Amino acid sequence: MTINRRELSISGLALSTLAVSALALTASALAASADEEAVAKKVEAFRLAQIAADPKALGALCWDDLSYSHSSGKVEDKATFIANATDGKSKFLSIEYKDPTIKVVGPAAIVRFHWVAEQEMAADGKKVPTNLHILMNWQKQGDEWKLLSRAATKL
């Protein structure tokens, strides 16, 4: 079998193109996983801020245009969500985000998980469990990920 220069050149070009494509895919995968990791950290910070009923932390994690939808169908803007989440009428005893998935699509991240929580009502000490499916949409601007919207469905 003989290989001439032209065939060798075409083979080399094909291999170079393949190598560059593989490198681009690897770089893209690494960027996506770095973004997924950054979003995962924000999601955990949000969970901890909910348990702590920390208005500053919640405010820092949410866009000003937040749309926060409860499983009851009630929709709140950022100010209303933070006010209601930190008013002291109830406190979270626990919040678990089970089986989370994060999919980064450009400057957006789609986060889904199974929410299992227990709250204690301040008025009567009654403990209330919640079992929900949550969809969160996070948006990146610059290097910062913030919660843009959240929707809950009762399970």
61-117: pLDDT as tens digits = 999 999 999 999 999 999 999 999 999 999 999 999 999 999 999 999 999 999 999
Give the predicted TM-score (pTM) of the model: 0.79
How high is the pLDDT of residue 19?
42
Would the pLDDT of 18 be above 90? no
pLDDT > 90 in the chain, percent:
78
Sign, CA dihedral 75-83-136-109, equals: positive
**Looking at the predicted structure, is the pLDDT value of residue 32 above 70?**
no
User: Regarding predicted confidence, which is higher, 17 or 52?
Assistant: 52
pLDDT at 15: 43
- pLDDT average, residue stretch 11-23: 43
Residue 97 CA: distances (Å) to CA of 49, 71, 73, 88, 145: 13, 16, 20, 22, 19
